[in-house]
Amino acid sequence: MASQETELVFKDIPGGVTAAYGFRAGAISCGIKNPDATRLDLALVVSDLPTATEGCFTTNRVKAAPVRVSQQHIKTGDIRAVVANSGNANACTGHQGIADTKATTKAVAEELGVRMRQVLACSTGIIGMTMPMGRILPRIPELALAISADGSDAAAAAIMTSDTKPKTYAVEVECEGATFRIGGIAKGAGMICPNMATMLCVITTDAKVDPAELKRATLAAVEQSFNRITIDGDTSTNDTVIVMSNGASEAPVIKSRSACTPIFRAALRHVMRELAKMMVRDGERVTKFVEIRVQNARTYQDAKKVAETVAKSLLVKCSWHGGDPNWGRVIHAVGYSGARIREEFIDIYFGGLIAAKNGLASTTPVRELEKVTQQPEFAVTIDLNLGSANYHVFTTDLSEEFVDFNAAEYSAAVFAKRQTGLV
Amino acid sequence: MASQETELVFKDIPGGVTAAYGFRAGAISCGIKNPDATRLDLALVVSDLPTATEGCFTTNRVKAAPVRVSQQHIKTGDIRAVVANSGNANACTGHQGIADTKATTKAVAEELGVRMRQVLACSTGIIGMTMPMGRILPRIPELALAISADGSDAAAAAIMTSDTKPKTYAVEVECEGATFRIGGIAKGAGMICPNMATMLCVITTDAKVDPAELKRATLAAVEQSFNRITIDGDTSTNDTVIVMSNGASEAPVIKSRSACTPIFRAALRHVMRELAKMMVRDGERVTKFVEIRVQNARTYQDAKKVAETVAKSLLVKCSWHGGDPNWGRVIHAVGYSGARIREEFIDIYFGGLIAAKNGLASTTPVRELEKVTQQPEFAVTIDLNLGSANYHVFTTDLSEEFVDFNAAEYSAAVFAKRQTGLV
């Protein structure tokens, strides 16, 4: 299981989504959410070489226009660019939304001299409003000029919504005497935990990866990273992970049984995990970062149910916010998770300290437990002592500020739009 | 489906759990949570006549001692009393907890001159601490003297935890020229929505109900009331609903096909629904009462999934708190509910006003929608336009105060206990 795997150590490098050779990125400010704003809100990532590209898209049955369009385009192969915006999700926008995304990918393709189907699109922001195309399309030539091998930070900044920090990460990997690089940018925050997750991630690598292997490695890495923070089916209308491989490095081709395949898979998983952790740590107004580890469940599904139920429990989250070592709320959530459990077998730990033994209060003084739960980051281990299956997720507390922050998004957005004469 | 059923109108009467003839109730103050406190915290409801009694207990796999003991006792039949306390859940207390509950029921039985197995028990409060039996057992004789035909309000007050108001309701029903009464007390609040639900309810009736019919009617009424507010499997370690029928009225026996059976079932459901609504309205620090109605789903299960997912969505709840008509968040939750939907068929209404038509923003001005969502009570209707199945639940917003209120229960309880020399 993931938490028991040995993590290989990789060399961190700067450069994010342009760390790998042959990729350029950049961003401009279009005023998509607010015409008066000057923040970056339209990003472009480009491969100068042909690519194998894999995508993971939201499982939400309500899908934004860029998700629908990208799912079509990616079938073509040889994707050359990803255009991504913040400020508007282009979700629940019907035929107009599809037409707007297509127009954007077409304009980008023309600037880059590629076909429209070689361009993918991502959006994040408010649901239910059409895109301000009059402020986007005329700026595409400028966007195409803004890309460079140093543009990762600008692209990372342009896809932020309620994120307080850009999320960017890259590693260099050695294998069989050659090196390759994997890096990416991501945005998360807002809706990640516990109920809605608008997450976008674009990863690039100059390793040469066989398309079938790229698919396997991407799916496995997403399962071990982003799917541990976006719980259950709670994905947004726009969630998208894109991995582009252009083979610019000298490293040998990575196929299902190549010597470098295990290290490539581990490196891709590592990059996604680091980006996923950045998202959780930057969750909207949260103050705690908590890993829930479930051990010795009867089955993998049981372990997963327990971890996700505890992570989602509102009252458990409130107790973490207060730094309260309330193991009673944890065991209560374990009880309604649907997993097979024996109350009298359950042990619960905060950090390395046992809080409940065999379903009963341990003798650990509550002051000692509090020293763990009042830290900004800690682990909660739930040992079911029934089998040998494990699972873990990363989650956060719930703060008063989260509620306040989320109370009036729609009205505010409609009013902003009205003031600019758009509705 | 429930929301489409015709509700019969019943005559409200005072008296709560002692409105029906032959029942007495009362309460005393034992200082269960805090020895210095003077609030009522131990209640007793007694039938002076033999009863048929039905119980519904938590589906949580972690069950409090009083739940385990009551599930055993109720098999005996002819239950004569229910003893209930607030301030301590007696959950995760192992063999000691079972012994404590048995000792309490035994002491009550001795005072009443019945067998121990004719007494049920309920507890609500903190999880993981043993009961202060030294403050309870010596007071049982006093408790037995405190009961009267006017004692419903005292009993309702004694089972409150974070409830701000006692919950009591009763009706008088006419059928075939005779009358019978049904009434009850309940506590909820704290953990009801959306994730944990410590709810206790004791209902009494002087109708003479056949045990098999009592079971059917009770299960159906719970499904149509408390199961619409405690969502999915999220029930607490202590949830208990008890219905006692003593036949003190002149009304003919209620069996599966009696003339009065439909009216009895409807009246029992009505009493439970009224108590359930009181719980939601009194949810911890909530400010909104919202009914989620799902219409025209493909199946009942699909309708239920959509209603429960929307009711549980944290970001939807935040938007209600702000009075924000954010239909985008609603449709987003519909999308990840797991139900079969067609985005382009979905209509969403706030009150009687359409907010989204065919999955797109309607033309209703947001100011008009806000007039609905800024009310303290409103309905959200989600029409999937796919089939004919309906479902509805009652829920609340999520407020900053809820988070604050729930942040440090355990430490505070441990410290209170320590100050009294108990740990």
| Both structure tokens of B157 | 């007050």
Closest Cα partner for B43 from B114, B144, B181?
B144
Q: For residue A161, say whether it is annotated as part of any ligand binding site.
A: yes
> What ipTM was assigned to the predicted interfaces of this complex?
0.83
What pLDDT score does B395 carry?
Answer: 86
* Beta-carbon count within 10 A of A352 CB: 9
* 3 state DSSP class of A345: helix
Q: Quote the CA–CA distance of A254 and B173 in Å, as a whole number.
A: 77
How long a stretch of residues is chain A?
A: 423
- Non-local (6+) Cβ contacts of A173 within 8 A are A10, A11, A179, A180, A181, A182, A207, A263, A264, A267
What pLDDT score does A421 carry?
Answer: 46
H or E element that contains B215: helix B211-223
Domain residue limits, chain A: 10-281, 289-398
- In the sheet that holds A360-361, the strands lie side by side as A360-361, A353-357, A347-350, A377-383, A289-297, A389-396
* CATH code of the region A10-281: 3.60.70.12
* CATH code of the region A289-398: 3.10.20.340
**What percent of chain A is modeled with pLDDT above 70?**
89
Alpha carbon distance, N-terminus to C-terminus of chain A:
51
pLDDT tens for each residue of B86-95: 999 999 999 9
Q: Quote the CA–CA distance of A17 and A155 in Å, as a whole number.
A: 9
A351-356 own/partner pairs: CB under 8 Å, 24+ apart:
A351/A375, A351/A378, A351/A379, A355/A325, A355/A327, A356/A327, A356/A331, A356/B92, A356/B128
Positive or negative torsion for Cα A21, A27, A33, A37? positive
Say if CB A197 and CB A229 are below 8 A apart. yes
**CATH says B2-281 is which class?**
alpha beta
DSSP result, A81-110:
EEEEEEEE---S-HHHHHHHHHHHHHHHHH
Put simply, the answer to whether B191 touches A315 (Cβ < 8 Å) is yes
pLDDT above 80: residue B400: no
What pLDDT score does B312 carry?
Answer: 85
Mean pLDDT taken over chain A:
90
Cβ-based contacts of B345 with chain A (< 8 Å): none
Query: CB of B189 within 8 Å of any CB in chain A?
Result: no
Query: CB of B396 within 8 Å of any CB in chain A?
Result: no
Query: CB of A326 within 8 Å of any CB in chain B?
Result: yes
Residue A111 per-residue DSSP state:
H
pLDDT above 60: residue A373: yes
Put simply, the answer to whether B343 touches A410 (Cβ < 8 Å) is no
Give the alpha-carbon dihedral of A359, A361, A362, A365, to 10 degrees: 160
pLDDT category of residue A353 using cuts at 50, 70 and 90 = very high
Q: For residue B161, say whether it is annotated as part of any ligand binding site.
A: yes
Q: For residue B284, say whether it is annotated as part of any ligand binding site.
A: yes
Closest Cα partner for A323 from A380, A376, A394?
A376
Helix and strand numbers, DSSP H then E, in chain B: 13, 16
**What percent of chain A is modeled with pLDDT above 90?**
75
Query: Mean of the pLDDT values across residues A105-109?
Result: 98
Residue of B nearest to A401 (CA): B400
Q: Quote the CA–CA distance of B306 and A163 in Å, as a whole number.
A: 29
Catalytic site residue A124?
no
Q: In angstroms, how far apart are the furthest CA atoms of chain A?
A: 69
* 3 state DSSP class of B224: coil
pLDDT above 70: residue B7: no
pLDDT tens for each residue of A192-236: 444 455 799 999 999 999 999 999 999 999 999 998 887 666 788
Please name the member of B92, B234, B313 whose beta carbon is closest to the beta carbon of A359.
B92
What pLDDT score does A314 carry?
Answer: 79
Say if CB B346 and CB B356 are below 8 A apart. yes
What pLDDT score does B416 carry?
Answer: 58
pLDDT above 90: residue A30: yes
pLDDT above 70: residue B57: yes
Put simply, the answer to whether B407 touches A370 (Cβ < 8 Å) is no
Catalytic-labelled residue, pool B104, B130, B198, B309:
B198
Mean pLDDT taken over chain B:
90
Say if CB A51 and CB A23 are below 8 A apart. no
Q: How far does the CA of residue B93 sit from the closest CA of chain A (Å)?
A: 6
